[in-house]
Amino acid sequence: MKTNPATRPQKIQLINSAVVLGMLSLIQSSYATEGGGTVYPLGVNTVLAGRMPPPGLTGFLYLSDYQANKTMDDSGNRKAGVHDFEINVQAISARLDYVYTDYTLLGAKLASRIALPMIKGDISFDVNTSAGRVHRSDNQQGIGDLTIVPIILGWSSPLVQQMTGVEIYAPIGAYDKEHLFNPGRNTWSYAPWYSFTAYPVEDIEISSKIAYVVNTENSATHYKSGQEFIADYNIGYNIDKQWQIGLNGYIYKQLTDDEQHGESVSPNGNRGQVLAVGPSVKYQSSGVGFVLKWQHETKVENRAAGDRLWLQAAYHF
């Protein structure tokens, strides 16, 4: 008995559609938040997180390298169906803080901040689909999203220094929804934050920056990443007035579900988490400072799991 089979071009189209749908399903469920990242640079604000710079202009330069060779599911196990996963993200970011000399509010000094990164990313993996295993890779580089903090409030006492503000992330970064990796995220995001640096005993510094990130919908994909809790931290010992060694890292926990077209993304809303920890070394002299730190990720769910290396510098003009 004869059937009415699809023509060869139709068969190829059906196979290609199955491959694409299979990859999109696995890729999307491999990450918390869209694309597996966050607009906030995890682990950047550790040492002296609550200390406001001196009056006037201070410049900061951040070099970072992130590498991971596995991606985890919502149980903290390697994601099924994804093989030979590798991602490497390098960034160089410039930040300017200006502390005002003529204005105060609620007993606090006032400052403004702006920051802009250049980002390069490489990603590759094999993924199981209904048409077999398929290799996917991408590499992109360009300007990331702009960070603006119009007003920062800063308080200082001999034992505790504190700052607070709201970061605004403007989507000016390079973005294309067809890419696996993008320097920009194509969403507006807002992050109220509080940071402190405390000296409970002589020569011991405890610092943290705590932020709550609220993401808006990506208009190109109709994907809305969940809200995120982030805490960078540092526990340091001052060897002398110039050198400090310490333990630093970050805590990341996604608190609400990812959504697409207004519906929660399965499974379990794609909520991610990670705990990172590692050593740090700080050198500080008159008007200039350097920090070198490494952060190893553990307790990871719905995200890539890897290591982050930072080299940071600050100079007061």
Instruction: Judge whether residue 6 has pLDDT over 70.
Output: no
Min mean pLDDT across 126-130, 175-179, 247-251 is at 126-130
pLDDT of residue 24 exceeding 70, the answer is: no
Q: How confident is residue 37, by pLDDT bands cut at 50, 70 and 90?
A: confident
Strands 228-238 and 288-301: unpaired
Residue 265 confidence (pLDDT): 87
Of 117 and 11, more confident: 117
User: What's the mean per-residue pLDDT of the chain?
Assistant: 89
Residue 268, phi-psi category: left (phi > 0), alpha (psi -120 to 50), beta (remainder): left
What's the rounded mean pLDDT across residues 102-129? 95
For 25, how many CA atoms within 13 A lie in the half-sphere containing its CB?
12
* pLDDT above 80 for 23: no
From 66, 63, 71, 68, select the one nearest 92 (Cα to Cα). 63
Domains, the chain, with CATH or none: 8-316 (2.40.160.40)
Which residue carries 């590499």 as its tokens? 139
Mean pLDDT value of segment 194-216: 97
* 6 phi, psi to nearest 5 deg: -70, 145
SS (H, E, C) the chain: CCCCCCCHHHHHHHHHHHHHHHHHHHHHHHCCCHHHCCCCCCCCCCCCCCCCCCCEEEEEEEEEEEEEEEEECCCCCECCCEEEEEEEEEEEEEEEEEEEEEEEECCEEEEEEEEEEEEEEEEEEEEEECCEEEEEEEEEEEECCEEEEEEEEEEECCCEEEEEEEEEEECCCCCCCCCCCCCCCCCCEEEEEEEEEECCCCCEEEEEEEEEEEECCECCCCEECCCEEEEEEEEEEECCCCEEEEEEEEEEEECCCCEECCEECCCHHHCCEEEEEEEEEEEEECCEEEEEEEEEEEEEECCEEEEEEEEEEEEEC
At residue 269 the predicted structure's pLDDT band, cuts being 50, 70 and 90, is confident
pTM of the predicted protein model:
0.87
**Interval 19-34 mean pLDDT:** 44
Backbone angles phi, psi at 89, to 5 degrees: -125, 125
Residue 5 neighbours by CB under 8 Å, 6+ apart:
11
pLDDT surpassing 90 at residue 21: no
Name which residue leads in pLDDT, 208 or 18: 208
Residue type for position 108: A
Pull the structure tokens for residue 229.
């809790």
Residue-wise pLDDT tens digits, 208-252: 999 999 999 999 999 999 999 999 999 999 999 999 999 999 999
pLDDT for 32 equals 55
Structure tokens of 234?
A: 């540092």
Report whether 94 contacts 116 (CB < 8 A).
Answer: yes
